[in-house]
Every structure is written in structure tokens, then in C-alpha cells.
Chains A and B, each alone.
Chain A
Amino acid sequence: MILGHGAAVSLYPRLAWYGFRRHATYWAAALAGAFTNTVFGVLRAYVLIALWQARPGLGGYDVAGVVTYTFLTQACIGPMQLFGGGLDLPQRIRTGDVALDLVRPASLQLWCLSEDLGRAAYLFVARGAPPTLLGALLFGIVAPHAPAAFLASVALGVVVSFGWRYIVALATCWVMDDRGLAVFSLVVTTFFSGLMLPLAIFPGWFGSLARALPWSAMAQVPADVYLGTAGPARALAFQAMWAAVLLALGALMTGAARRKVVIQGG
């Protein structure tokens, strides 16, 4: 679909398209990111292969499965922004520009979500495909168990990721500096998304907790849907539940932030 300026298209799809195009401009940066994600994928794959050689079948994966898992989760880094960022909001809160965003006759949250979906769609291709293809070439990866469910799971994962990053970004209104919050978000997201290790091998109650938290929806769940180690219906329902919770929380915070910004005078 090509969206012209004169066409009577609704606001949010157009914002998504602009988000896509804006990120497509920085193709060299995306390529460099994909290269780095691939290098780390290779390193992680060797460590996990060594572990799975010592413990075959651990966590319900075989060696080919865990290699696939590694490259899929590396491919999630870009679209899911697992290292944080992707939103202009913290910067705009710090400079006061957010006052302008809040008086627009459109929902700030949906505005940001639309742009973010466009960004994610571009990065899914630009930063998702290279690690997956190189992983397939170097180590061999297994074919998707349920391709359509996998794509749906990635899309829901992006919404959960946005829901979380939006909350972290808006929290800047209260802390007035986004870097400390960004570090906190980085820690919980990288660890509990399943990016560092499959959550299936986290021991005991700690593992159960990690699998129930929203971050698992951003890497572990899409990878499990791809591998068929999780039932698609249940997995998608889990992601949708967290997407709804985080978006609702973000909407509440938007209301609170609107009052907060007015008090400060922007």
C-alpha cells in the first residue's frame, strides 16, 4: 500500500509508514547492527552447543533447536529493541517538547505505537533476516513449526515491547533523566526475555517466575512458537494478555503525565 499525501488515509497507518521510512533511511546502521547481532549469535551458539553436548535434550531442545533459538533471539534484538530505546519520547520529555505532543488531537500512546510498529517492521527484515540466514549457513537451523503463528507472535512481542518501553519512557517525567531507568530496563529485558539463555533452563521457581513475566513475550515466546516447543494458542494468548496490561498501564500514566507536565509548565 502506497500512502500519498493527498489520500484520505487515517492518521495511524500513515504514522506507521513514516516510522518505517524513517528507519529505512539508516540502512547502514541497521546493517551494522545486524552484523553485530550475528557475531554475538555465533559466540552464544558455541557456548550453548558446549552446554547441550554436556546435557543433550536440556530444557526440551536438541542441539539444532538451541542453535535456532540463539539466532532467532538475536534476530529479536532489533525489532523488539531488547537493549532499550527506539522511542523519541525520553528526549522530548527532557527538552519539554512533549508538551507539544500532549496537546495534539491524537493519543500520544497510539501515535508512538504506530511509529514503533513501522520501525519494528523495517528492523524485523533488516536486523532479523541476516542473523537468521547466517546462523542457517554456519550451523544449520530448523524450519519454522508454525510460520503464521510465529509472525503473529513476533507482532504481539513488538506490542509488548512497546508497552514496556513506553512506560519506561514516560517514567522520565518523574525522574527527569532517562539513563538510570534505561539501565534498569536493559537489565530486566535482556535477562528475562530469554536473550542470554533459554528461560527453560532457569532452575526451579525462578524459572517459573521468569517465564510468567512480560519480558519473555519479547524473545522466548516467539522462538518457542517457531520451534513448536510452545502451543501457539496459549503462547499468543499470554502475549496478548501482557500487551493489554502494559498498554492499559501506559494509558493511565499518559493521563498522569499530562497533569504533571502542566504543573511544571512544560
Chain B
Amino acid sequence: MIRTYALLAWAWTRAAAQYRVSFALMTAGAFVIGGLDIAVIWIIFANTGSLAGFGLTEVMFLYGASELAFALADLLFGSVDRISQQIRAGTLDVMLIRPASPWVQMATDRFTPHRIGRAVQAGTVLGIGLARLDIPLTRAWMVPVMVVSGIVIFAALFTLGGALQFLLTDATEVASAFTYGGAMLNQYPLSVYDARIVRGLTFVLPLAFVNWQPGLYVLGRPDPLGLPSWTGLLSPAAALALAAVAALAWRAGIRRYRSTGS
């Protein structure tokens, strides 16, 4: 499965490298698009010292951790939520008769290596944030755990978005509300949102486990909603639970699939 993935991804990477000007522009573009988020954060903190109780460095840490996870998930699996194009064109049929997992084929379809530019940008912000925060090692070990959990959570969201498109073939943008919306949501401390929304993101759709709960643990800050400090340590469990739901939904979608008939 991993070998198939690598082979297909490499084939698309070589294809993308053929348009050299576009490829260079797009890698730089991915970096700059991510940089826009930071420009927005910078402008916000040029106007205020604290946003919903958090300072610039803490927001940089929260943003970097979530955005790095999202950028890597988007790079590796982001194409999965474009499945409606394949359904409409009838090309999903071809994928289903190949001796490789359709999920792997979807994930590598038009694999766009330039998205790494965004991961580099997010990683830089995370690094700067961490360097300025001075976090003891007893809590810093959680940072790689939360990034990996975040990748799994976002990959599960992309898969759920793909599965949804077996039902809503014409409404692909609904999936974007959850995937890109989830990324946007985690760019800022969840304390800016209504408490009911944060509860929903903790107990229903576990987006709070990407960077908010583990981030509070790393920062050593109490949860504004009063959850215990070890809640953040549950990130891997939340990620695996969501991945299981996504896998079931994806299977159900593939089973339900009846081709376009044209």
C-alpha cells in the first residue's frame, strides 16, 4: 500500500515538474498563501496585545501546530475530497478495477508536491513560536504527538469529505467547510468561539484535539471550560476514533457507488 502510494505520488511529481514556471510559482505560491495567514495574525496583533487571552507567541504556536498538521495531511491525502470529479467523469470505475486501493489512488491523484511549501511555512512559524515560548521537555514531548494526531484527524476529515460526495456529487464545497474550515478554525485559540461550539468540537467532531487541548497542555494553561489538564493527552485516541469513523464511511460510500451510467 505504501509502495503503491509512493510510486503513484512520484509519477505525478514528475508530471508536475514538466511545467517548470508554473511549478516554481506554485511552490512559492503555497508558501505565500500560508504566509497570508501569518500576515493576518500579525496585523491583528499590531492592533492588540492579546486575543481572547492569548498573546502573539502562543497564537503562533497554536497556528503552527495545527497548520503543519493540516498542510501535511493536505499534501498526502488532500485529493481524496475531489472524488466527485471522478464520479462525474466516470473515471472512478477505472480506479475500482485496478489492483490497488481506490483510497490510495484518490490520495495520489494529481498529487501536488508544491503543497510542501505550505508545510514549510507552518513548520517555520511553529519553530519560532516554540523557540520563544521556552517550554520544559516534560511537556514539549507532546508537540510531535499533537502534530501526528492532527495529521490523522485532518486525513480522516478529508476522507469523510470524500465519502460525503458519494451522496452529494454536485455539492463538493460542503466538504471544504469541514476540511478547510477545520484548519481555519484551529488557527486561533478556541477561546474566541462560543463555549457551545467548543463543546461540540471536543465531544462531537474532535477538532479541539488537533491543537487546542494538547496545546493547552503544552502551554501549561487551564482549560477555560474547566476540562482537566490531561484531556490534551487524549489526542491520539480521538484521532484514531475519527479515523475509524472515516474508514467506515468511505467503505459505505464505495459499496453504495453505482457509476454514472454514461
A contact residues vs B (CB 8 Å cutoff): 26, 28-29, 31-33, 35-36, 39-40, 43, 46-47, 49-51, 54-55, 58, 175-177, 179-181, 183-184, 186-187, 190-191, 196-197, 201-203
Contacts and interface: CB of A to CB of B under 8 A. Distances in A.
B56 interface: no
Given A28-B170, A29-B173, A40-B180, 5 more contacts: A35-B171, A50-B51, A180-B26, A187-B32, A190-B36
Q: Classify the secondary structure of A's interface with B.
A: helix
Q: Classify the secondary structure of B's interface with A.
A: helix
Given A187-B32, A196-B36, A35 B174 contact: yes
A202 B44 CA distance: 9
Contacts of B50: 54
Given A54-B48, A55-B48, A43 B181 contact: yes
A179 B26 contact: yes
Nearest to B194: A46
Interface residues of B, number: 40
A47 B173 contact: no
A46 to B, nearest CB: 5
Given A180-B26, A183-B30, A43 B43 contact: no
Given A31-B171, A32-B173, A40-B184, A177 B22 contact: yes
Please list the 10 inter-chain residue pairs (A to B) with the smallest Cβ-Cβ separation, ordered nearest first: A180-B25, A183-B29, A32-B171, A180-B22, A28-B170, A32-B173, A50-B192, A177-B22, A54-B48, A36-B177
Contact of A50 (B22, B52, B172): B52
B47 A201 contact: yes
B21 interface: yes
Given A55-B48, A58-B47, A29 B192 contact: no
